Amino acid sequence: MGKGNGKTEARFDLDHELPAAEDREETAAGASASQADDTGAASETEKLKAERDALLDRLARLQAEFDNARKRAVREQQDFREFAAADVIKNFLPTLDSFERALKAGNADSSEFRNGIELIYRQFQDALQKIGVQPIATVGQVFDPRIHEAVEMVDTSDVPDHHVLDELQRGYKYKDRLLRPAMVRVARNSHG
């Protein structure tokens, strides 16, 4: 058979050279090999499914971990902004104290000057309030060492024991965080 296809020549040779009984054995051997291949393919499919499931589980865990990391980063950024703002606000508090002292002086020559100072003071307080700065209540309140700093204990029977008698310097909070405690005089009496 000359220069034909190699497969055709091989098949032609097998058809002519092998006895008929051997053809049947080859067919049976081929069938059992294909069954083994089917079993191997099923086993391979199961392995691939298990690997796929493991990869999907790993992907879900990584997505959850990424989502948690993103949320944590957002929370840390917010905390950083609040602390940065608190440091800025602390720098303005001495100015606010100066305004309060000027207003308490009461001997201003001009009522217009006093009105101007009062206007600036109110504007400044409003601006601080808008960003979350709140003054700490003091006079008449029970002394709280977390937000009040006792400068002096005063013996008196006019105010209940351990109540704030007078405020020397106002304290402030920023979004429930203490910026500065209030400096106060605290009442002390034996009648409690």
DSSP 105-120: H---S-HHHHHHHHHH
Rounded Cα distance, 187 and 166, in Å = 9
Question: Contacts by 161-169 with C-beta closer than 8 Å and gap 24+?
Answer: 161/187, 161/188, 161/189, 161/190, 161/191, 161/192, 162/186, 162/187, 162/188, 163/187, 164/138, 164/139, 164/140, 165/139, 166/139, 167/138, 167/139, 169/97
Question: DSSP label at 176?
Answer: T
Q: Residue 9: what pLDDT?
A: 47
Query: Over the chain, what is the mean pLDDT?
Result: 79
Residue 3 pLDDT > 80, yes or no? no
Q: Which of 144, 188, 142, 185 is nearest to 165 (CA)?
A: 185
Domains of the chain, each with CATH number or no CATH: 133-192 (2.30.22.10)
* CB-CB contact of 96 with 124 (8 Å): yes
108 pLDDT tier (thresholds 50, 70, 90) = low
* CB-CB contact of 86 with 128 (8 Å): no
Among 26-35, 64-73, 104-113, the least confident range: 26-35
Rounded Cα distance, 114 and 170, in Å = 21
User: Which whole number is the average pLDDT over 150-172?
Assistant: 90
- C-alpha torsion 58→64→66→69, nearest 10: -140
169 pLDDT tier (thresholds 50, 70, 90) = very high
Amino acid at 71: K
Among 9-13, 47-51, 99-103, 146-150, the least confident range: 9-13
CB-CB neighbours of 82 under 10 Å: 13
User: Which whole number is the average pLDDT over 136-141?
Assistant: 90
Longest dimension (CA), the chain: 133
Which tokens in the block code for residue 32?
């059992």
Which tokens in the block code for residue 136?
């700490």
Three-state secondary-structure class, residue 153: strand
